Structure 1
């Protein structure tokens, strides 16, 4: 109430505020004493100034100034705390807003798709890069989580992962995940194929069942993990498709014809009707540009193979 007392003697209270103040003074003995002391100080300083008693006048005035300074200090602290509370509220609200924004942001994703017959190169925020093969999709979070970097692959992609030992990079697929710290590898995991394959170029990776982290295989450079009779198996393998990564030229040397048809079917959204099953195990030597249309590619393969083909429809090709 000290502030109201000073405002009373300054003459800045309204009539209603004065009535409220005096009711409070009548009801509070401590407040009544404070009012009387302040009144006497002001009165004495005013009287002595006219009586020429400089000593008492100066003493009382100094006391009044101290009281006034205290009051100003109280007012300053009060106002400071009031505005500080507002600032803290604003800062707190901003922090909570940002925290919530980031939290929400982390739950948002971007799908990147490579259309049939085309590749797409992707540069991620952490410096990693991915080359998606045709008819593949990659789901990338708009902001990686604090403990790991995870993307979801549907199809095939070649990954060059920026090294970060404290923040593993995970390629999640329909059934299996690949966890790395920083390396180069290829993942083949088209959901509709039922197949899974990871081929490692550099470093080391861990391939595991997405539903059971403990059920997995560690890989070193020049090794490949693939499904065999429903189980992950590891074999030695040298990655041969650097031309595909760098220039888009696919080398089908030493690849059984049935494996090549599997990839073509997935890449170009076509189904092959094979009238001569014996040709499926034949191995051809050759290359084709992945961006070419399916008919151009089939002509290139036919020139080195022993089969004929016929395009039945946009989605069906007959091998005979």
Structure 2
């Protein structure tokens, strides 16, 4: 039967509560015990696929048992020619059931017995996703206002815990966080965690984008990077943190220039710069002009511009020649500018051709 200590560590791992020492401990247990590794993989897969249903429905718990049983049968083979073989296969299944039962009880005890951990009951969580070309305004339970840009998903609780206020973001959002010094507001993204007490800022962190950005308008925020927890970056107003989503080994090494601070040690790479402003465009920073239905680029590569246009217009852009992705442009488009008009404007600065087929635009030489 699975050990209580492993269950405790696995539970804390699921809710991101492991200390560095505990992380090393569970990694060692997984390395030394193949059964633990198998159980951990099954439980994590189900936990990540539907946390709400997992804790809220006994039927889904039964579903998990079926998953475990099928997995165990596939591991041990399907032969049932002798009662002895059946018995031999039954015991591992029973061990799995016992293991997951203990796990569920421990998880329930951990969450209900630690109300200060800031985690809301899973059934109180909600996902909001915006479609391409769509924006949406949300008011969270604490009074925080969130504007979601196109193609964005925000996971948030209907009520916050007694310690922290936590949400999960994939995409771009503008936050006006209600000030509450006793309950920090934390935004989790794929590469970073942003911690605030009460301030105004913008986060752009699409999982499939090459970079993530946090732009501070007023107040102050603290950013930690998932694989560089020792680095705590404090932003001041009108500063922007840019994080490279690709592994460091895939990035070109660039030396810092001017006010740009570039991290060059192992781990996720990041830069701290100032917000971008364009004369005669708007008094607001470029990073927040999407709130005013403006698509603005300053010396950005064509690939990044295309990704924003895809979310903005609900289209697809295909590059038929790789080198065209690296063309750089400075441009401003209003919401009512058509895709063809926008591409013709870019073509006036750098030569390329495009053709349209349904909702797909093909870029060629």
Q: What TM-score results when the alignment is normalised by the length of structure 1?
A: 0.59
Say if 2:295 is the partner of 1:257.
no
Q: Is contact 2:215–2:239 with CA below 8 Å preserved after alignment?
A: yes
User: Residue 252 of structure 1: CA displacement?
Assistant: 2.4
1:168 pairs with 184, 189, 206, which one? 184
RMSD between superposed Cα atoms in Å: 2.9
Structure 1 Cα separation of the partners of residues 301 and 331 of structure 2: 10
Q: From 201, 220, 233, give the equivalent of 1:204.
A: 220
Please, which of 142, 164, 168 is the counterpart of residue 158 of structure 2?
A: 142
**Separation (CA, whole Å) in 2 of partners of 1:132 and 1:293:** 22
> How far 1:207 moved relative to its partner?
1.1
Asked if the contact 1:156–1:188 (Cα under 8 Å) also holds between the matched residues in 2, the reply is yes
Summarize the alignment of residues 1-320 of structure 1 with structure 2, pairs less than 5 Å apart.
105=121, 107-210=123-226, 213-228=229-244, 229=251, 230-238=268-276, 239-245=285-291, 247-267=292-312, 268=314, 270-275=316-321, 277=323, 280-289=326-335, 294-295=339-340, 297-299=342-344, 301-302=346-347, 306-315=351-360, 317-320=362-365
CA contact (8 A) 1:147 1:167 kept: yes
CA distance in 2, matches of 1:163, 1:242: 21
CA distance in 1, matches of 2:165, 2:363: 43
Q: TM-score, normalization: structure 2?
A: 0.53
> Equivalents in 2 of 1:198, 1:285: separation in Å?
22
Secondary structure of the residue aligned to 1:277 is helix
How many residues align? The count is: 218
User: What does residue 8 of structure 1 align with?
Assistant: none
Structure 1: tracts of 5 or more residues without a match: 1-95
1:200/1:220 contact within 8 Å kept: yes
Deviation at 1:140, TM superposition (A): 1.1
- CA distance in 2 between partners of 1:211 and 1:249 (Å): 34
TM-aligned CA deviation for residue 313 of structure 1: 4.8
Q: Are the counterparts in 1 of residues 128 and 155 from structure 2 also a CA contact under 8 Å?
A: yes
SS of the residue 1:115 aligns to: coil
* CA displacement at 1:170 relative to structure 2: 0.9
Indicate the structure with greater helix content.
1
Assess if the C-alpha contact under 8 Å between 1:183 and 1:202 holds in 2.
yes
- In 2, the alpha carbon distance for the partners of 1:259 and 1:189 equals 13
| Equivalent-residue separation in structure 1 for 2:169 and 2:350 (angstroms) | 33
Displacement after TM superposition at 1:234 (Å): 1.3
Larger radius of gyration: 1
Q: Give the match's secondary structure for 2:208.
A: helix
State the shift of 1:292 in Å: 6.0
What is the rounded CA distance, in whole Å, between the counterparts of 2:295 and 2:191 in structure 1? 26
Which residue pairs with 2:248 in the alignment?
Answer: none
